[in-house]
Structure 1
Amino acid sequence: MQSRGTANLKGIDVSHWDGKVDYAKVKASGISVVYIKASQGTKGVDPMLEENYKGASAQNLKIGFYHFFTPLNEQDTLLQAEHFVKTIKGKTYHCRLALDIETNDAKLSKATITKLAILFLNRIKQLTGHGTVVYTYTGYAKENLIQDIKDYRLWIAHYGVNEPGDNGIWPNWIGFQYSEKGKVQGVSGACDLNKFTEDIILA
């Protein structure tokens, strides 16, 4: 699967699992985009959100936020969308708002998960006026999503390959997470490595 344009932006994504990050070193290593975990479910807030935001902002990195989605039902989905938007309110960001969808603990059907994901994406677009992107991995897309979501931009995870494999839904991507074991100056352990096209940046 090919990129939607030239993928010339290098990025990492961070959460509390990455510990304290030295963003001056991150920037010096050639990273320009940082996606920060903001929220999860209807109430969860990443404990490193504020520190990651302040650190990345101080280095003038291109910031994006993501929400870890736990699909359940329509009411819960709307609460999750509103929680995400409330969590990042007042913060400056430059990249599309990301829906991280990689679980199905409720054992929902493909059609239901897809419907809920679209509901979430449309709600955050309605609340913020900003563009969105779906983050998932190739196997999850094949097993849990259907074609209805194909018109939304994709940030795909697929490790150990030069290009992500066919997921049966999207023809191209704007973000490609190609490693979960990357080494970047300023991050103490292994971290996720990504490349993005300019389409990840908000217009």
Structure 2
Amino acid sequence: MQPRSLTNSKGVDVSHHQGDIDWKEVKNSGVSFAMIKATEGHSFTDPKFEDNVKGARQAGLLVGVYHFFHGESIAKAEQEAAHFLQAVKNYAPFDLPYALDVENNRVDPAAVPVWLQAVRVSDHGRKPFIYSNPDTIAHCLKDRNLAEYPLWYAFYRQHEVPANAGAWSQWTMLQYTDRGSVPGIAGHVDRNEYNGRLER
């Protein structure tokens, strides 16, 4: 895969675990985009989802949203997609494609494309991101057809260039630490960069 670049757009991803966020401070620190947790499984909606989307937008950040996947079966994947789309519909469209967070090695590999296809149709054909890490890709994301979806890659060895993983030979977004510090956010936060410049 490609290395990081100083010219890439910088971002964060957040959930209720970050508590109340001063999004203006986040924006002023040089962050240009935010990926915000919307849902998990077939029934959980993040309690800070609405506040985070509104706050990030008001501060002028580019916004995307993600779903934490349980994915035990194809039937559950359909339920999870429906739950996600119901939760986000009043806030769509978003600046970035939807994202599927796959980091549970018990995911049924056949369930992944079911969620992706259902959500892609609802997002006017935009391909969702797949968020994952080297171990989960090796266990659950071996389907080479998934390479058509952009990879949001969790890889924390900051002084190494990531090796190819599964069907992917490049990342579109890189989560390079889960111990980041950003003005406006208390405690640690995930830091990310986009492969290139994100603009409206």
Within 2, Cα distance between the matches of 1:22 and 1:190?
14
The 3 A distance-change label for structure 1 pair 6 and 132 is farther
Q: What are the residue-to-residue correspondences of 1:1-203 with 2, within 5 Å?
A: 1-2=1-2, 8-92=8-92, 93-104=94-105, 107=106, 112-113=108-109, 115-129=110-124, 130-146=126-142, 147-162=144-159, 163-198=161-196
TM-aligned CA deviation for residue 153 of structure 1: 0.8
2:181 is aligned with what amino acid? K
1:150 is aligned with what amino acid? A
CA-based RMSD of the aligned residues comes to 2.2
Equivalent residues of 1:155, 1:177 under 8 A apart:
yes
What secondary structure sits across from 2:38 in the alignment?
strand
What secondary structure sits across from 1:192 in the alignment?
strand
Within 2, Cα distance between the matches of 1:22 and 1:175?
23
Equivalent residues of 2:141, 2:166 under 8 A apart:
no
The 3 A distance-change label for structure 1 pair 5 and 84 is farther
List alignment gaps of at least 5 residues for structure 2: none
What secondary structure sits across from 2:90 in the alignment?
coil
Within 2, Cα distance between the matches of 1:8 and 1:44?
33
The 3 A distance-change label for structure 1 pair 121 and 3 is farther
Give the TM-score normalised by the residue count of structure 1: 0.89
- The one-character-per-residue Cα deviations of 1:123-175 (angstroms, maximum 9, x if unpaired) are 10112213311000112112222123122110100102243233232011110
1:50 is aligned with what amino acid? E
Alignment size in residue pairs? 196
The 3 A distance-change label for structure 1 pair 186 and 192 is same
Within 1, Cα distance between the matches of 2:23 and 2:156?
25
List alignment gaps of at least 5 residues for structure 1: none
Within 2, Cα distance between the matches of 1:201 and 1:149?
26
1:166 is aligned with what amino acid? N
- The one-character-per-residue Cα deviations of 1:14-70 (angstroms, maximum 9, x if unpaired) are 001111110010000000010000000111000111111111011121000000000
Within 2, Cα distance between the matches of 1:152 and 1:56?
25
What secondary structure sits across from 2:81 in the alignment?
helix
The 3 A distance-change label for structure 1 pair 200 and 69 is farther
Within 2, Cα distance between the matches of 1:199 and 1:121?
25
- The one-character-per-residue Cα deviations of 1:75-126 (angstroms, maximum 9, x if unpaired) are 110111111111111214100100000013xx45xxx41x211111111011
Identity of aligned residues (%): 32
What secondary structure sits across from 1:20 in the alignment?
coil
2:103 is aligned with what amino acid? E
